[in-house]
Amino acid sequence: MGSSKDAAAATTIGYFTTVESERTGWTGGLLVLNGAGRPLEFQCTLPIRPSRAHEILFGTTLRQHLISEVIGPTLLQKCRTPISLLCCGQPEAISLQENLPSSAASLPASSAVRSTVVAVVQREDEKRIRELEGHCRVTLGNATLHVAMERIDDAETAIAGLSDIVDTHEPFERITEAIREAQSQMARAA
Amino acid sequence: MWFRAKQPNADTSSDSSASPTDAIDAARTGGKLPNTGLPTDGFRQNGISSRPADSVPTAPNQSIQPQPNVVPSSLPTHATPRPDLTCDIDESLSWSTHPADDIQHETDCESRDTFHNGGFEVVTRTLAWSPLQTTRVPIKLPALRVKTNGFLFPEAASWIPKTQAPANASVAGRIGGDESESKSPAKRPQRKIGKHARIKPPNDIVKLQDRLYYLLQPPLDLLVGSGQLNFPFEPFPYQLDGIAFLFPRYACVLADEMGLGKTMQAISTMRMLLCSGELRNILLVCPKPLVSNWLREFSVWAPEIPVMAIEGNAAKREFQWRATNAPVKIANYELLMRDKEIVLESGLHFDLVALDEAQRIKNSNNTTSEIVRAIPRTRSWALTGTPVENSPDDLVGIFDFLSPGYLTAGMPLPQMAKAAGDYILRRTKDMVLDDMPPKLFRDADIDLTPEQWARYEAAESDGIIHLEELEESLTIQHVFELVLRLKQICNFDPVTGASAKLQRLEADMEEVAASGQKAILFSQWTKTIDKMRPAIEKFGVLEYHGKIPHKKRETVIDQFKNDPEKRIILMSYGAGSVGLNLQFCRYVFLFDRWWNPAIEDQAINRAHRIGAAGSVTVTRMMAAGTIEQRIASVLDQKREMFDTLFAAQNEPSSTHDRAPKPASNSPLSRTGGLNRDEIFGLFDLRAPGGKKVA
């Protein structure tokens, strides 16, 4: 690890969320920003539609399965930029920490942390802070993040290199907008 | 994956209490049906679970009807053949099912009793069900396959512009409220929460990746908020929207009303595009009097960007056209005609050509229009406060520069509006009223014409020598005389009549008149008013000053209010600064500055009074590098001092206060203009008997 300045430069923040639509299905988006909030990489999925069998089998756990076992790991696998801190917009992504693909589980030495830290962003409209078992709260910009207890040190290291992130919620809007744009273009092409 | 197959439902009649659930429960518990009190003989199985109950035959002679415990011997004694098993799982995902035939029903374990009753031999038979067997249906559940699409952003998109120090109080082209307001950013209008200045791709960008490139950029207000994007003054929210509009566009018209800061928006966008590597070579074309203004604006809003004004003799200009050390070149329209060959035929190419006062090319047939249309370029921007002056075809002329043939003369108006919609951004003051302070100050620093400048320098040096020679007999009156003399030269060259201020006034009045607005002009001298009148006669001029008889003054005001052809009224500070209500005027020009800012405030408040319909743009004209700027600088310092001292009292007249206090209550009124030492200090003179004032 180099100087703290280098570490800050190597700190990246990923934003992962999914958009569910009855018409198209589930679409996931991953936006990677540098410490200054500028975009480095964007990955998104084509819409996937779980079958009836999936719905029956997974029941109420289908969302979690899709978010943290299907869409999330796939996007992380495809992403070429090492991600220090991955902010997830949905609480179902909390188990993504256990499902990290190898590329995210072992980051290059130049990265600020040894593996991607998964954090769930407390929603803006949630006034009361939820408690997630085995997770601690940390603050980034204007948001509260829930991070696995054993990764809290890494999370704080990553957050130290993200001082220019003012509005932690805003990049989710960009992803949603980008997914909407992609879907509308696909709809026009169809 | 394996499923337990759904057990066949017992075919129960409508009055049977043996539910399908019971049947399944029986299967789970070893196949014993619950004791329903019903005969077990004749109990039917029906594997079609979805079959509606009312589809079961209900004719009285059918065996499923409840019968007494009497079973005719002719009735079959074996169980109904078991139908196929079904499952709510998509069959295409299953690789096998157990045929129903495989499930054997053991019917051999039965007991039979015979007795006689009433002469009949009654045979009762008890059927024994073999335990219902569960079965497993293998279902292959394919993993959900996810296809992804993505891209990396170019490194240059992560640019971070250099941090720059805030500029001084008196800045050319500054758009903003009173200086006091700019000192307290907390008072500035804030963008509504959740509403960001996002860069949105225009409709003519088709490729998804290109569109996402813009969509995924951070909102400009957050870049400003995080300190990454620095401006000498915090832009208004609508100005950030304007930058977000210009940034992704290859062809567009920024048509904001005069005074809203088109220049600042264009320069800031150019700066961002240069920093992000999207532009390397920009040509800005503007009217000649505005070249120096653009240079100053660049030095304020993009100080790190080298800018070159094309000027001088032919050889110098040719060298400048080919120079690569300045990414921004500024040329005027007239010069473009002279350098036509160099610009069009020497292999020059510009990443962006921006036209200021683009209404100049509304006529597609004029030479200027032909030349600018032919300049090799990638992006084309047009800046104008009046995109349409007389007819919609004016817009066609501008679009012939942006995208030839996109609009055509005679196009139906709704069709033209629809086609041009995505290319034009126009905001009026009314539209951005919430964002704006009630008064906008534009400090127009104007370069004197060469004739004026020569006269000014000679007068100043001779004057100072004369003052110094006076020594002990030097009085403040002598200094005043020199100041007045120099200020008059700043207005007009006494010999040739040349006036850079008048050129600027004409350009601004074109825009004011075209937008249907009216303006008030203030000057210290009626002679100055007399000199400027012929040049601006075309705008419909009225005069209101000491030489106008009192009995005629009321008529003049009425005419100015009611005659739509009268666009400008020329006033002297003395006559026009009090007692008049001209709040329908949106523009005030201070052709020269008064000694005391309080007097200026009173003059400005002719247009900006309680009940004013909208904000007022005040253009303060100052000759750059002259006594006018030195006086303004001293007054600004005093203004700043009073603002600091009387900050609490100044609180109510904040940005959002639409009813400012009378000028007499303003802290500015207590400055009292310049004191004796300050007046001597303007020329670095020592006041007799006093210390030298630097």
pLDDT score, position B3: 39
Each as own residue / partner, the long-range contacts of residues B115-119 (CB below 8 Å, 24 or more positions apart, any chain) are none
Same domain, B232 and B91: no
CB pairs under 8 A between A and B: 119
pLDDT score, position A175: 96
Same domain, B416 and B511: no
Identify the CA nearest to B201 among candidates B190, B210, B191, B188. Answer: B210
The C-alpha atoms of residue B350 and residue A108 are separated, in whole angstroms, by: 42
Position B553 in a domain: yes
User: Which one of A181, A183, A185 would you mutate to disrupt binding with B, by most B Cβ within 10 Å of its Cβ?
Assistant: A181
User: What's the gap in Å between the CA of B212 and the closest CA on chain A?
Assistant: 6
The C-alpha atoms of residue B383 and residue B392 are separated, in whole angstroms, by: 17
What's the CA angle centered on A71, arms A123 and A171, to 5 degrees? 40
What are the CA-CA distances from residue B174 to residues B183, B259, B300, B628 (Å)?
14, 10, 9, 17
Confidence of residue A49 (pLDDT cuts 50, 70, 90): very high
Domain segments of chain A: what residues? 4-189
Handedness of CA A127, A131, A137, A140 (dihedral sign): negative
Q: Which residues contact B585 (CB under 8 A, 6 or more apart)?
A: B517, B518, B519, B520, B606, B607, B616
Q: How many CA atoms lie within 13 A of A9 on its CB side?
A: 10
The C-alpha atoms of residue B497 and residue B532 are separated, in whole angstroms, by: 10
With CA atoms as reference, the chain B residue closest to A38 would be B158
Domain's final residue, options B144, B177, B210: B144
Q: With an 8 Å Cβ cutoff, are A43 and B88 in contact?
A: no
Chain B residues touching residue A53 (CB < 8 angstroms): 89-90, 93, 139, 141
Domain's final residue, options B387, B410, B435: B435
Q: Which amino acid is at B315?
A: A
Q: Which residue has the tokens 């942390």?
A: A113
Q: Which amino acid is at B228?
A: Q
Q: Has residue B82 got a pLDDT over 90? A: no
User: What's the gap in Å between the CA of A21 and the closest CA on chain B?
Assistant: 16
Q: Which residue has the tokens 């100005």?
A: B239
Instruction: Give yes or no for A83 touching B (CB within 8 A).
Output: no
How is residue B110 written in tokens? 């039965």
Same domain, B131 and B207: no
Range of the domain at B140: 1-144
Q: Which residue has the tokens 């001298």?
A: B525
Q: How many CA atoms lie within 13 A of A99 on its CB side?
A: 18
Q: Has residue B164 got a pLDDT over 80? A: no
pLDDT score, position A6: 55
Q: Which residues contact B301 (CB under 8 A, 6 or more apart)?
A: B231, B232, B264, B267, B268, B271
What are the CA-CA distances from residue B448 to residues B96, B289, B316, B462, B497 (Å)?
95, 10, 22, 19, 12
Q: Has residue A135 got a pLDDT over 50? A: yes
How does pLDDT run across B87-144, given as a tens digit for each residue?
455 555 545 444 444 444 444 556 778 888 777 888 888 877 777 778 887 777 888 8
Reported ipTM: 0.92
Q: With an 8 Å Cβ cutoff, are A57 and B1 in contact?
A: yes
Q: With an 8 Å Cβ cutoff, are B150 and A79 in contact?
A: yes
Chain B residues touching residue A71 (CB < 8 angstroms): 146
Chain B residues touching residue A16 (CB < 8 angstroms): none
What are the CA-CA distances from residue B622 to residues B172, B263, B555, B673 (Å)?
9, 18, 32, 17
Q: Which residue has the tokens 């802290």?
A: B667
pLDDT score, position B479: 83
Position B688 in a domain: no
**Mean pLDDT, rounded, for A84-89:** 95
- B595: which DSSP letter? S
pLDDT score, position B689: 58
**Least-confidence region, from A49-53, B238-242, B356-360, B665-669:** B665-669
Q: Is the pLDDT higher at B125 or at B278?
A: B278
Q: With an 8 Å Cβ cutoff, are A53 and B90 in contact?
A: yes
Q: With an 8 Å Cβ cutoff, are B217 and A50 in contact?
A: no
Are B333 and B368 in contact by the 8 Å Cβ rule? The answer is yes
Pick B144's closest partner by Cβ from A70, A165, A173: A70
With CA atoms as reference, the chain A residue closest to B200 would be A177
Q: Which residues contact B460 (CB under 8 A, 6 or more apart)?
A: B482, B486, B627
Identify the CA nearest to A71 among candidates A16, A119, A152. Answer: A16
Q: Which residues contact B458 (CB under 8 A, 6 or more apart)?
A: none
Position B20 in a domain: yes
User: Which one of B90, B140, B146 would you mutate to disrupt binding with A, by most A Cβ within 10 Å of its Cβ?
Assistant: B146
Helix count and strand count (H, E) for chain A: 7, 7
**Least-confidence region, from B32-36, B160-164, B371-375, B501-505:** B32-36
Q: Which residue has the tokens 């220049």?
A: B263
Q: Is the pLDDT higher at B109 or at B666?
A: B109
CB contacts under 8 A, A 115-174 vs B, are 164-167, 170-171, 173-174
With CA atoms as reference, the chain A residue closest to B154 would be A40
What's the CA angle centered on B668, arms B600 and B572, to 5 degrees? 15
The C-alpha atoms of residue B477 and residue B656 are separated, in whole angstroms, by: 42
Count: domains in chain B? 3
Confidence of residue A32 (pLDDT cuts 50, 70, 90): very high
Percent of chain B scoring above 70 in pLDDT: 68
SS3 content of chain B, % helix, strand, coil (to 5): 40, 15, 45
- CATH number for the domain that contains residue B611: 3.40.50.300
Distance of CA B356 to the CA centre of its chain: 19
Same domain, B323 and B395: yes
Q: B637-663 in b/e burial notation, b at 16+ Cβ within 10 A?
A: ebbeebbeeeeeebeebbbeeeebeeb
Q: Has residue A118 got a pLDDT over 50? A: yes
Position B387 in a domain: yes
CB contacts under 8 A, A 47-76 vs B, are 48, 50-54, 56-57, 66, 70-71, 74-75
Q: With an 8 Å Cβ cutoff, are A174 and B223 in contact?
A: no
Identify the CA nearest to A32 among candidates A73, A81, A104. Answer: A81
pLDDT score, position B175: 38
Q: With an 8 Å Cβ cutoff, are B89 and A52 in contact?
A: yes
Position B225 in a domain: yes
Q: Has residue B683 got a pLDDT over 90? A: no
